[in-house]
C-alpha cells in the first residue's frame, strides 16, 4: 500500500481524536496496523550542532546536504533546563521514548552502576497496545558499550508494561543466546562449558530487570542465522556503530519491524581525550545512515512507507580549558541544544522549521505519525512538519 496524504492525514486525525478516550474505552489491541513504518535514529553519544547540522563545519555531509532535502530540519530543538534533568545518553533516550523528563527511577547506586527503569510508557508500549503487532516487530537496536539501555523496552505504568514490550537486538543479546545454546547442547569440553556458564552468569548481572536470557522465537531464530553467518567469535561481525547498522538492516529483511530505534553511540568515545574520536564517529554515523536509508529505499514494503526521525540524545559543550574538550556532564547550555530531522511520507520536504521545539515532542509526534496518542508525553505534536 502506498501512503498518500489522505491515508496519512486520516491516521494523524485518528491519533489526535483519541485524546478524548478514557481508560474504559474499547481497546484497540485487535486492530491490525496499516500505517507507516517509523525508524528512530538516536544520533547518539552526544553531538553539537556545529559538527552535525552546520553547513560549513559538518562531519555528516549526507545528513546535512542530502537528507535535509527529503524532509524538514528542526535546527533549534532543546532539552529543557529543569531541576534534576541531566543531559546524558540514557536520560536523553528515555526523553525520546517516553516524551517526558525524569520519567525513570534509578535501580543502581550511581555511575557507573546506574540502572534506569522507565516509569512512563514507551513508544513501543503505546504502539503494541494500540495495534496487533508482535514484539519482534517493535525493535530497539543497542550498542555493546551501553548495556543498561538494553532494558528501555517497557515502563512500569500499570496500564502498559512488560506485556507490550519491544525486543532488543545487540551484541549483548547475541552473547546470551550463544552461551545459553552452548550449555543446553553441551557443546565443548568440561572446561569450555564451565567458562560458558561463567560468561552467561556475568552477562546476566546486567539484567537488573530480570528478563532472563531468552527472547521470542523469531529473535532466537535471528540469532541462530547471525551465528551461522558471522560465527561466534565476535571477530568477524562489525563492531561499534557499524554493528548497529548491520543489525538494523538484517532486522528489516528478517523481522520486518514497524517501529525500530537505533541507538548510535560512538561519538561518546571523545571521553578518551582525543577530539578526532568524536568527529570521526559522527562521520561513521553519517555513512551508516546512508546504508540504512538505501536499504529502506531498495525494499518495496519499506520504500515510500517509512518515516525517519533523527534526533540526538543530548548536546555537547566545547571547553578548550579542559583536558577532554567536548563534554556534556556539566549541564551547560550547549549540552541542552540539539536538533531533529524528520522525513518520509506525509512530511514536508526541503524545509526548515525555525521555531524552538522540545525533545519531548518526538514521542508525541511519532504517535501522531503512527496513529496512536502518547498520552503521557509532555511535549506537543510537531504539527508544522506535516504536508
What tens digit of pLDDT does each residue of 141-152 get? 999 888 888 899
- Using an 8 Å Cβ cutoff, are 233 and 286 in contact? no
What pLDDT is attached to residue 17?
Answer: 45
Dihedral pair phi/psi, residue 155, rounded to 5° = -100, -170
**Would the CA dihedral through 60, 65, 66, 68 be positive or negative?**
positive
CA 243 vs CA 52, 140, 143, 246, 322: distances in Å: 21, 13, 8, 5, 31
- Using an 8 Å Cβ cutoff, are 167 and 216 in contact? yes
- Give pLDDT < 70 ranges for the chain: 1-30, 109-113, 319-325
User: Which residues lie closer than 8 Å to 372 by C-beta, 6 or more apart?
Assistant: 15, 18, 126, 127, 130, 131
Asked whether the bond before 53 is cis by omega within 30 degrees of 0, the reply is no
Q: Which residues pair with 386 in a beta bridge?
A: 347
What pLDDT is attached to residue 332?
Answer: 81
For residue 264, give the nearest of 385, 100, 116, 92 by alpha carbon: 92
What pLDDT is attached to residue 109?
Answer: 56
How do strand 71-78 and strand 357-358 relate by DSSP bridges?
parallel
Q: What is the pLDDT of residues 165-206, one digit of tens each?
A: 999 999 999 999 999 999 999 999 999 999 999 999 999 988
User: Which residues lie closer than 8 Å to 110 by C-beta, 6 or more apart?
Assistant: none
What pLDDT is attached to residue 324?
Answer: 66
Class of the CATH-defined domain 5-19+35-385: alpha beta
Which set of grid coordinates corresponds to residue 70? 527529503
What pLDDT is attached to residue 322?
Answer: 67
Residue found by looking up cell 503505546 in the block: 126
Domain extents in the chain: 5-19+35-385
3-class state of residue 242 by DSSP:
helix
Residue found by looking up cell 571477530 in the block: 235
What pLDDT is attached to residue 317?
Answer: 80
What is the separation of C-alpha 339 from the centre of its chain, rounded to a whole number of angstroms? 16
What pLDDT is attached to residue 20?
Answer: 36
Which set of grid coordinates corresponds to residue 384? 508544522
User: Which residues lie closer than 8 Å to 64 by C-beta, 6 or more apart?
Assistant: 52, 53, 54, 55, 58
User: Which residues lie closer than 8 Å to 61 by C-beta, 6 or more apart?
Assistant: 286
The CA distance from 379 to 126, in Å, is: 16
Taking phi over 0 as left and psi of -120 to 50 as alpha, with beta for the rest, 139 belongs to: beta
Amino acid at each position: 500500500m502506498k501512503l498518500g496524504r489522505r491515508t496519512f492525514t486520516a491516521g494523524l486525525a485518528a491519533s489526535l481524536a483519541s485524546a478524548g478516550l478514557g481508560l474504559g474505552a474499547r481497546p484497540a489491541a485487535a486492530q491490525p496496523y496499516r500505517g507507516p513504518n517509523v525508524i528512530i535514529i538516536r544520533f547518539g553519544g552526544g553531538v553539537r550542532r556545529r559538527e552535525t547540522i552546520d553547513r560549513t563545519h559538518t562531519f555528516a555531509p549526507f545528513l546535512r546536504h542530502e537528507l535535509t532535502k527529503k524532509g524538514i530540519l528542526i535546527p533549534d530543538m532543546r532539552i529543557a533546563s529543569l531541576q534534576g534533568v541531566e543531559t546524558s545518553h540514557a536520560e536523553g533516550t528515555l526523553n525520546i521514548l517516553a516524551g517526558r523528563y525524569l520519567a525513570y527511577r534509578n535501580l543502581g547506586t550511581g555511575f557507573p552502576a546506574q540502572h534506569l527503569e522507565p516509569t512512563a510508557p514507551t513508544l513501543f508500549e503505546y504502539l503494541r497496545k494500540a495495534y496487533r503487532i508482535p514484539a519482534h516487530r517493535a525493535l530497539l537496536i543497542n550498542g555493546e558499550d551501553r548495556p543498561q539501555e538494553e532494558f528501555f523496552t517497557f515502563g512500569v505504568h500499570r496500564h502498559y508494561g512488560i506485556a507490550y514490550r519491544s525486543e532488543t537486538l545487540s551484541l549483548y543479546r547475541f552473547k546470551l543466546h550463544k552461551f545459553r545454546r552452548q550449555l543446553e547442547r553441551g557443546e565443548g569440553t568440561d572446561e569450555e562449558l564451565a567458562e560458558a556458564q561463567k560468561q552467561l552468569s556475568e552477562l546476566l548481572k546486567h539484567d537488573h530487570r530480570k528478563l532472563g536470557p531468552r527472547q521470542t522465537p523469531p529473535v532466537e531464530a535471528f540469532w541462530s542465522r547471525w551465528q551461522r553467518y558471522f560465527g561466534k567469535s565476535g571477530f568477524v561481525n562489525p563492531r561499534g556503530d557499524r554493528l548497529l547498522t548491520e543489525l538494523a538492516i538484517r532486522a528489516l529483511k528478517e523481522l520486518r519491524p514497524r517501529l525500530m530505534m537505533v541507538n548510535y553511540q560512538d561519538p561518546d568515545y571523545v571521553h578518551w581525550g582525543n577530539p578526532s574520536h568524536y568527529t570521526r564517529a559522527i562521520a561513521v554515523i553519517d555513512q551508516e545512515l546512508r546504508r540504512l536509508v538505501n536499504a529502506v529505499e531498495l525494499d518495496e514494503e519499506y520504500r515510500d512507507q517509512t518515516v525517519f526521525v533523527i534526533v540526538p540524545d543530548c548536546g555537547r559543550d566545547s571547553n578548550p580549558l579542559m583536558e577532554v574538550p567536548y563534554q556534556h556532564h556539566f549541564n551547560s547550555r550547549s549540552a541542552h541544544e540539539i536538533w531533529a530531522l524528520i522525513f518520509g511520507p506525509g512530511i514536508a520536504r526541503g524545509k526548515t522549521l525555525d521555531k524552538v521545539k522540545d525533545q519531548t515532542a518526538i514521542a508525541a509526534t511519532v504517535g501522531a505519525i503512527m496513529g496512536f496518542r502518547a498520552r503521557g508525553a509532555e511535549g506537543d505534536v510537531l504539527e508544522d512538519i506535516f504536508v
